[in-house]
């Protein structure tokens, strides 16, 4: 045994990373366990969502259908809006809904992702697991909800605009970009929320600003004669995503490759930075919450 007082004097102020040796077999076992837990946690989120309701999972379908119905009513009867010209004329309600669907994926994932670590204190302090699965659970749960909305969007597009052409195959690519962005943001924000609870309040407002700063309710073409604003808008990684979704679903055009590529790059950087931030701090989660 080392002499206590002597070692105490050199004990570090700032926690150092400890060397926990793990073998390949142990890492594989951890990964397998993490995958199982992830699956169970996503399943739990989805089950709880509609537990206790009469219609149950039907709500996943009813909500987007009613949303489309309300938009259509509002924008054709109450305040008739001219169709958006995207190759073909698209009713404004449908234009809005396709964009909103994609935006909701980001918003739901980031909102629940931000609180995912703080909300899992009961697990963090009792068992070990790969901590990354907490924000990932939020993103995947949001993705499942998104799939329902996307299904409704596809039907609505087919009915009001026409059957999308083969370019619909690019859709998953667009979704991957959103998932990358959402996961990266969730990693960073969930870590931040552990140390500053303010983040959870701040994120609601930030998402609102993001919503109006992204071409969800308007089209980027609206800014065509305001080059500065247009340029500024292109820095928003969601711009390419939203434009591409409309291109693919409504206009039968290719995605905006340059903008989408930029969005993907931002997404990858966010995930990498997020993983770094998350892993550097995850060992403090159990004692901070």
Partner 1 sequence: MSDIAIEVDDVWKSFRVYQERTHSLKERFLGRSNKYEEFWALKGVSFEVPTGSTLGIVGPNGSGKSTALKVLARILTPNRGQVRVRGSIASLLELGTGFHPDLTGRENVYLASAVLGRTEKETAAIYDSIVDFAGVEQFMELPVKNYSSGMYARLAFAVSISVEPDVLLLDEVLAVGDEEFQMKCFDRIGHFRDTGRTIVLVSHSLDTIRTMCRDAIWIERGELKAYGPSDEVVAGYLGDVHLGPGSAHPAGAPRWGTGGVAVTEVRFLDADGRASTTLHGGRPATIELDYELHAPIDDVVFGIAIHRADNGVLVHGQNTTNVPLERPLPRSGTMRLAIEDLPLLKGPYQLTVAAHDSSGTTTYDWHEREHGFQVMDSGRTLGQSGLAYLPGQWSVEPVRSPGLSMA
Residues found near partner 1 in the complex (CB under 8 A): 1-2, 4, 7-8, 11-13, 15-16, 18-21, 29, 32-33, 36-37, 39-41, 43-44, 47-48, 51-52, 122-129, 195-198, 283, 286-287
Q: Please say which residue, 65 or 207, places its beta carbon nearer to partner 1.
A: 207
Choose between 15 and 80: whose C-beta lies nearer to partner 1: 15
Closest contact distance (angstroms) between CB of 128 and partner 1 is 4
Tell me how far, at minimum, the Cβ of 121 lies from partner 1, in Å: 12
Q: Which is nearer to partner 1, 42 or 171 (CB)?
A: 42
Q: How far is the CB of 5 from partner 1 (least distance, A)?
A: 10
Question: What's the rounded Cα separation, in Å, for the pair 167 and 248?
Answer: 6
Three-state secondary-structure class, residue 251: helix
Question: The tokens of 279 are what?
Answer: 């892993």
Name the residue nearer to partner 1 (CB basis): 51 or 226: 51
Nearest Cα to Cα of residue 199 among 132, 105, 277:
277
Tokens 């700032």 sit on residue: 14
Minimum distance from residue 6 beta carbon to partner 1 (Å): 10
Query: At its nearest, how many Å lie between partner 1 and the CB of residue 36?
Result: 5
User: Minimum CB separation from partner 1 for residue 12, in Å?
Assistant: 6
Cβ atoms of 190 and 117 within 8 Å: the answer is yes
What CA–CA distance (Å, rounded) separates 109 from 127?
24
Distance CA 271, CA 113 (A): 13
Least spacing, CB of residue 23 vs partner 1, in Å: 9
What is the number of alpha carbons within 13 Å of residue 60 lying toward its C-beta?
19
Smallest gap from Cβ 58 to partner 1, in A, equals 18
Q: How far apart are CA 215 and CA 261, in angstroms?
A: 17
**204 vs 261, beta carbon nearer partner 1:** 204
User: By the 8 A CB rule, do 156 and 97 touch?
Assistant: yes
Those residues with Cβ within 8 angstroms of residue 168's Cβ, 6 or more apart along the chain or in another chain = 248, 249
Residue 200 CB burial class (10 angstroms; 0-12, 13-18, ≥19): middle
Q: Toward partner 1, which CB reaches closer, 51 or 85?
A: 51
- Closer to partner 1 by CB, 195 or 212: give it: 195
Instruction: Please identify, using beta-carbon distances, which residue of 81 and 281 lies nearer to partner 1.
Output: 281
Nearest to 133 by CA among 146, 125, 124, 145: 124
Residue 153's CB: how many other CB atoms inside 10 A? 23
Main-chain dihedrals φ then ψ at residue 109, nearest 5 degrees: -65, -45
Asked whether 283 and 132 are in contact (CB, 8 A), the reply is: no
């Amino acid at each position: 045994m080392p002499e206590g007082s002597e070692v105490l004097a050199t004990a570090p102020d700032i926690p150092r990373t400890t060397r926990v040796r793990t073998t390949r077999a142990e890492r594989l076992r951890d990964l397998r366990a993490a995958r199982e837990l992830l699956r169970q946690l996503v399943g739990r989120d989805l089950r709880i969502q509609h537990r206790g309701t009469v219609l149950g999972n039907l709500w996943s379908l009813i909500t987007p259908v009613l949303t489309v119905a309300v938009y259509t009513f509002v924008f054709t009867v109450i305040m008739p809006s001219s169709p958006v010209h995207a190759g073909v004329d698209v009713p404004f309600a449908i234009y809005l809904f396709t964009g909103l669907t994609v935006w909701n994926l980001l918003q739901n994932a980031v909102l629940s992702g931000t609180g995912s670590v703080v909300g899992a204190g009961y697990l963090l302090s009792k068992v070990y697991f790969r901590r990354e699965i907490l924000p990932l659970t939020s993103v995947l749960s949001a993705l499942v909800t998104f799939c329902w909305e996307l299904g409704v969007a596809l039907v609505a597009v087919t009915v009001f605009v026409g059957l999308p052409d083969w370019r619909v195959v690019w859709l998953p690519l667009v979704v991957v970009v959103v998932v990358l962005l959402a996961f990266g943001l969730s990693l960073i924000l969930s870590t931040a929320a552990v140390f500053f609870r303010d983040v959870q309040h701040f994120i609601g407002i930030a998402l609102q600003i993001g919503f109006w700063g992204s071409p969800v309710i308007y089209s980027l073409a609206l800014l065509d004669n305001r080059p500065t604003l247009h340029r500024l808008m292109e820095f928003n990684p969601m711009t390419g995503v939203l434009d591409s979704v409309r291109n693919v679903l409504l206009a039968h055009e290719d995605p905006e490759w340059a903008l989408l590529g930029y969005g993907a790059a931002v997404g990858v950087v966010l995930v990498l930075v997020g993983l770094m931030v998350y892993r550097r701090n995850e060992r403090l989660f159990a004692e901070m919450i």
